[in-house]
Every structure is written in structure tokens, then in C-alpha cells.
Amino acid sequence: MRRVLLLLLVVSVEGRRVRDQHTHTPESFPLDFTAVEGNVEGFMAQVKSLAQSLYPCSSQRLEHQMKLQILKNSSVTCNDGTPAGYYIKESRGSRRWLVFLEGGWYCFSKHTCDSRYESMRRLMSSSNWPPTRTGTGILSPQPEENPHWWNANTVFVPYCSSDVWSGSTPKTDQNDYAFMGSLIIQEVIKELLTKGLDGAKVLLLAGSSAGGTGVLLNLDRVYARLQAEGVFSVQVRGLVDSGWFLDHQQISGGDCRHTLSCAPTDAIRRGVRYWHSVVPERCSRAHDGQDWNCFFGYKVQPTIQSPVFVVQWLFDEAQLTVDNIHLTGQKLQESQWRYIQNLATTLRNTLANVTAMFAPACLSHEIITRSYWTDVHVKGTSLPRALQCWDRSLRHHGNSSAQAPPRGCPLQLIDSCPWPHCNPSCPSVREQQMSAVQFLTQLGFDIQRMAQQQGIEPNTLLGMLNNGT
């Protein structure tokens, strides 16, 4: 079987290489491992060897680094007025484009932005950006790390606007900082059209954390921009990683002198005014001009017309941080445990009408650019496999919603176990190797009491935790 698949891959690669002589935009090919799932690692090693042997024989060598491009429009800048830009790895044999928006919190006042500039300047300025970046996870050019998007044209857009990719105001004598996140995205798309995006088949706008929320805010505007430029053949899709935040009450009240102590609704309300935010028109109308609502996934997603895939940890560290739950190794109080469990329940409810999702019951934040992103599973399915299923369901349906997935190819994957880290494939907590039981016990999880609440024996509960059920 492997020999047959390798032979087909050789024919496919060589066929496309021959067609390169006649056309500038041949279609790329994602790899389908359905027939070799029992030995994917061995198969991928052979594919990598094959790819390395084929590329030197062609005119286009396999490029691993993304190279920095400063925006030609110098009026679109980072917070401090330095020019914005992007990193790009072109794959001229591919008609698939992946544009990734970086995350990194926000600031919403002169005080919080001054503090951010002192402690996190790289997220507000391009002055020290390196000339190249190496992609990891879904940005990786290695097929064993990135089985379905390794050969795509890859674009990484650094976050330097501190506005959740929503702002539209320049730096002036009256404004100490520029907030131009939404304009940076528009300029990047404009430049990519001159680099081959105009001949693309698929554009996946992806982002993590604030970048994931930025996808929700900008996805339909990117589609509209392509339409306005006369580019009608590109299927525009969104991938939201750890950007599906909730606007519920903190467990204990905080103030807004510091970014992380300010409740999400308060921070965004202030930010929308400070950034001169641009939000999707349909969402703004749906919420009677109260644009802050559009920064929360469950409120904006129903108004988005382009297909969206949501990746969200059920116990997201950033959400817990802004909710004033700090997991620092100290044992949690019972009220805090209840709050954490209610968070997962609320999150599941907000995802009820999402057609494509991947939601593990883990305590973490961000995943799609992590090298371990292939290792996490929900109900036996990995995230790359879930994204491939989604891709298949959309393949022939333009920008419409997902159709029924192929058999054995689930789209709605969400853990049902009720505690953080109860999925055995969760990444190690804060890079410490520990089991779910060890982790929960360290935080003060009372096995006896929780078993009694569930109406089961303690040993049964331990078995459930160890098995992720």
C-alpha cells in the first residue's frame, strides 16, 4: 500500500511540475493519510525524503524560512509609528494561501499602552523584527509536522497594533499611539494579490488568541476586499484558535489600571473607543451599534458569512486570567473549582451552533502554531485530521457553510469530561510532565468529595480521570 501511495505521489508531483511549464498557478495537493493511519510516521519519513529529492531537480527549491516584507504603504504603521509588515514563504506550485494573525493581548488607555511599551515593545513596534522567521505547527513547511498545509503559501503577520486587529487611527500629535490593526490586514491582502493570491483557490485566514478574535472581526472584510478587486474564485475561510472569549463576570472584581485585571467587557468597551475599532457591519447592526459585543465569538459568529472553524481549549488560561483565576500551584477554593467547571459548561453552550470545532478539555492557551498540535486528540481525532475533514466538506461549496462531512470525518469535536486536563492527550501543564490526577490534586482537587458529588466510587473517578472520560 505504501509503495502504491508513494508512486501516486511521485506521479502527482511530477505531473504538477510538468504543468508548471504551461501555467503559473497549478493547484497544490494536501496529503490524505486515511489509508496509512497505522504507520503515518514511516510514511511521512518517506514523503519527506521524496520531497527533498524532487525539489532540487525542479526550478523551485523548497524554502523553509518566511522572509520579512515591510508594507509599501508607509502610512499604515505599528503603535509607535514604525512600519508594519509581514513574513512570507511563497510556494509557487500551490493555490492555497494561509495568512496567520499573531496574538498577544491588548492595551486600552494611555496608561496601559505606556506600560505595554515598556514591557512588551516587540508587540508595538517593528524596530527589532528579525529578517526571517521559521514556521511551526500549521505554519511549518515540514509535512510530518504539518500534514495538510506544509506546501501552502504561508504568511505570518506580526501583531504590533495592540487593538485585537480592529483599529483604524494613525499616530498624530494628539494620539501617542497608532491603532491600525484592521488597516494592516487590508494592506497585507492588497500586496498579496500582486504575489499570486489573485489566482488562489483557498485563502485560510487564521489566528491565535487576539489574532483569533481578529479573524472573526476581519474575515468577511477580507472576502469583500477580494470581491472589490475582481477576485471571485478564492474560497475565504477562517480558523480561530483560542480567540473565542466569554464576556461573563469575573470571580472577583478587578480594576482597569492594569490590562490583566480589567474584566473583558470593560477592557473592550474602553478599547473600542480608544482604537476607533472597525467591526463587521452585520454584527454592529445586530447589536444596535454596541460594537464591543462583536469581540466575543458567540455574538459575532452568527453574523459571519464565511466558513469558520473554532479551536478552543475548554479551560483557556487567558480566559481564566482575566476572570481572576490564577493557577500558580496554590490550592483552589471550592468556589474557584465551581467557577472553572461552570466556565467549561458555558463555553460548551456557546459552541452549540458552531458547525466546525475542536475543543479539548485542557488547561492551555493557543495550539495551531505549536509543534505538538498534531498530538492532541478529541474523541480519537487529531486537530489536523479535523481540519482536513472541514476542508473536504467545503471543497466544492465556495464560501457557503460546511456541508455534511465524509463518513468517518467528524466536524464537531468537543470533550465531555468535566475537569481541566481530563483529556489524556492534553499538553503537559506549564511544560511539567504530570498526569491529570497529579495536576488536579496539586490544585486541591478532592477526589473523595468530587466522587461523592458525582455519585460514584473514588476509584471509579480516578479511572475516569486517567482515561479521559
Task: Give catalytic residues, as residue numbers.
Answer: 209, 316, 365
Pick from 24, 467, 35, 450: nearest CA to 9: 35
**What does the buried/exposed string (b/e) look like for 181-190 if buried means 16 or more CB atoms within 10 Å of the residue's CB?**
bbbbbbbbbb
- Amino acid residing at 134: T
Residues 6+ apart with CB under 8 A from 203: 97, 99, 197, 222, 226, 234, 235, 236, 237
Other beta carbons within 10 Å of 219:
27
Q: How far apart are alpha carbons 275 and 267 in whole angstroms?
A: 12
Q: How far apart are alpha carbons 306 and 237 in whole angstroms?
A: 6
Q: What is the DSSP letter of 98?
A: E
Q: Where are the beta strands (DSSP E) in 172-322?
A: 202-208, 235-241, 308-311, 315-316
Q: Where are the beta strands (DSSP E) in 258-342?
A: 308-311, 315-316
Distance of CA 411 to the CA centre of its chain: 16
* 16 to 13, 47, 114, 440, 451: CA distances (angstroms): 5, 16, 52, 52, 59
Q: How far apart are alpha carbons 152 and 174 in whole angstroms?
A: 42
